Amino acid sequence: MSQIKRQLSLTQSIDVEMKKLRTRLSDESTSYTCFENLSNEVLYEILDYIDAYDIYESFSNLNNRLQSLITSSSLLLRIKLCLKSSSLFENRCQHVIIPNSHRIRFLHFHDESLINTFFDHYIIDSSFHRLESIGLHDIKAEKLLTILIYLKSLPRLFSLNITIMDKSSYDLGNIYSLIFSLSSLKCNELGTFGNKLPRIISHLTNNKFSMIEYMVIHNFFTLNQLNSLLHYTPQLRHLFCHGVIESDKKFKKNLSMKLPHLKYIGFEEVYVSFDEFEVFIKEISSQLQIFRIGTYDYKNYLDGNRWEQLIKKYMPQLKKFYFRFTQNIKNDKKTNLIDSTDGFINRFSSPFWSERKWFRELKVFCEKKIFSIFPYKKQWTDLHEHINTGTNSKQNSIEDNYISNREKSDHGIIQLTIEFHGDSDLDWRFIRRLIPTIKAIQFTHLNIENESISINMLLNILRLLPHLESLKLLFMPKRLFEYLSIEHTRNHLSVPITNKMTKVKLGQVTEEEEIEFFINLFPQIEHLKVHCLLNTDVPLLMKVILTNRKTRIPNLCHLCFDFLMADENLVRTLANIMDFETVIDSYTIQRSGDKINVHWKL
């Protein structure tokens, strides 16, 4: 957040300076160059984003002002070292790093040999008294232990990012003991090379608690190991641990130090039973606002009622819940935990979930099924979200809330995503395996991300999903032109799903016949979004849609074109079509980036 604020401040400062500059340039008797006439404050902000070596290489000895500026103690330096040339690296050490040690704020190494070369000849001591962030990537554990001892002399070291590339056995307990002893440290990210085997973490010997608030662990720990670390981080606000794995010993409920400030916790892969994980999370979750968890093949995690009670009682402040359950279904003999007989998804359908606007999705691949829960994301345009870039309107603007009101009912969406990429083919064998799941769950949204799907396959999938309200296609179906007949299309569908589909997103549209096909297929459509390719005739598509609006799609009230070449000229062209080819009394057309949205009252 602080970075964003700094960028906004920089932008505003540059705008002010450029306005001053334009005023001064209006005097023809004086000549200025833009960069040199920016104030020192703005130049400092700009240079703060540039590597120190690039600053010296680009601006040294150009003029007295710039030379004074780049050598000033007010300009703090950032240095990122990922060089392959040892001679060039040595040059930077001697002429940039060491002479300016008192000005360096950011110092990151991205190669083991660079780390070894630097620390074999130099040390980071109290002369680096303004150093705030250090990165040590691809370092050996033994070398790291030595370096961490020297870092204690840094009074402003707030961030430490480490990647250990060491296949030999080492004790992370010793490493974390030294990390926790860094008195100013607020942020620590540590990753290790290896598989899902737990690292050795002996008993930590710290006498003092760490001030770390943000901790990221790219490793697999047992809950007991993680518990031993958290005992020393009472100020922790953000915790991410990549993996949690089972241990020979059950988790001990002995977390003597609570975490009263913890707002965020995330686990990418959890391989312990829900019973054991629940005991752990109850101890630290009272203040949680954001919770992420991904797990595999542990069926108890699919108990929606249990999650509901856990969140209500132990996470009363939780605002965002990200849950992901993954099962590999490549082996047909393996029990399918996400099946029709279990009906687990219905246990995530109580008012508890919809009131919190937490969205449910079942994503299927050729080898996996993934059930997810995540905060509701707007799928359709809300006028409040757009800045009026290139806006045209006729008479009064439409009411801003007509779409957002519609979306209030969308929090109960259950989305089915079918995603195949590369050489994977979406075939009937796969669809037949999906039928039990499809029949057991009343999916309301279908998202297909497969470039090889045929129109015949799409129509058959739609027939299996009579409760659909929205559809998203990343690609146009193949063999579409064989089904352009209205009678052929409607006769093909034995289930009248066309009466419920109100929202449609179409990807990679090039021809007006493609639009006409889906207009015929979904006569109740209210919102239509069309992603156009570069060779798409967008005005022609607009005319086709408006021509069909009264007779075939009378409920259409929102149209969006996603077009890379969208500009103000296209907005005006579409506005003219609205003016001269329709009898719509009130509409708004506006562009936001590549998207042009048109709204009107019915």
* Structure confidence by residue, pLDDT tens digits, 567-602: 999 999 999 998 887 667 789 999 999 999 999 987
pLDDT classification of 196: cutoffs 50, 70, 90: low
* Claim to verify: residue 454 and residue 312 sit in the same structural domain: no
444-to-306, 416, 447 alpha-carbon distances in Å: 25, 8, 10
pLDDT classification of 484: cutoffs 50, 70, 90: low
User: Is 493 domain-assigned?
Assistant: yes
User: Is 348 domain-assigned?
Assistant: yes
> For residue 447, what are the domain limits?
415-600
The separation between the first and the last C-alpha atoms of the chain, rounded to the nearest angstrom, is 42
* Claim to verify: residue 276 and residue 425 sit in the same structural domain: no
pLDDT at 26 > cutoff 50: no
Would you state the pLDDT for residue 428?
72
Mean pLDDT lowest among 8-22, 90-104, 195-209, 279-293 = 8-22
Q: Counting beta carbons within 10 angstroms of the beta carbon of residue 545, is it exposed (0 to 12), middle (13 to 18) or buried (19 or more)? A: buried
> What is the torsional sign of CA 392, 398, 400, 405?
negative
pLDDT classification of 365: cutoffs 50, 70, 90: confident
Would you state the pLDDT for residue 82?
84
Return mean pLDDT, the chain.
81
User: Is 100 domain-assigned?
Assistant: no
User: Is 31 domain-assigned?
Assistant: no
Q: How many domains does the chain have?
A: 2
Would you state the pLDDT for residue 298?
87
Would you state the pLDDT for residue 530?
96
Give the HSE-up count for residue 381: Cα atoms under 13 Å, Cβ half-sphere: 27
User: Is 324 domain-assigned?
Assistant: yes
* Claim to verify: residue 506 and residue 439 sit in the same structural domain: yes
Q: Tell me which amino acid residue 166 is.
A: D
Would you state the pLDDT for residue 492?
52
pLDDT at 198 > cutoff 50: yes
pLDDT at 373 > cutoff 90: yes
Distance CA 92, CA 97 (A): 6
* Claim to verify: residue 237 and residue 348 sit in the same structural domain: yes
Distance CA 550, CA 558 (A): 14
Would you state the pLDDT for residue 378?
62
User: Is 499 domain-assigned?
Assistant: yes
pTM: 0.81
CATH code for the domain in which residue 528 is found: 3.80.10
User: Is 80 domain-assigned?
Assistant: no
pLDDT at 61 > cutoff 70: yes
pLDDT classification of 91: cutoffs 50, 70, 90: confident
* Claim to verify: residue 352 and residue 453 sit in the same structural domain: no
* Claim to verify: residue 301 and residue 431 sit in the same structural domain: no
DSSP-derived 3-state class of residue 187: strand
User: Is 477 domain-assigned?
Assistant: yes
pLDDT at 108 > cutoff 60: yes
Would you state the pLDDT for residue 312?
96
Mean pLDDT lowest among 10-14, 91-95, 343-347, 374-378 = 10-14
pLDDT at 127 > cutoff 80: yes
Would you state the pLDDT for residue 314?
95
Mean predicted confidence (pLDDT) in 393-415: 48
**β-strand pairing of 358-364 with 587-592:** unpaired
Would you state the pLDDT for residue 507?
93
Residue with tokens 């849609």: 545
Mean predicted confidence (pLDDT) in 521-526: 90
Mean pLDDT lowest among 72-86, 157-171, 479-493, 518-532 = 479-493
pLDDT classification of 257: cutoffs 50, 70, 90: low
223-to-34, 177, 227, 271, 530 alpha-carbon distances in Å: 58, 18, 6, 10, 48
Mean pLDDT lowest among 71-80, 299-308, 420-429 = 420-429
* Claim to verify: residue 312 and residue 456 sit in the same structural domain: no
Would you state the pLDDT for residue 422?
52
pLDDT at 433 > cutoff 50: yes
Would you state the pLDDT for residue 4?
42
* Residue 104, both tokens: 């360096």
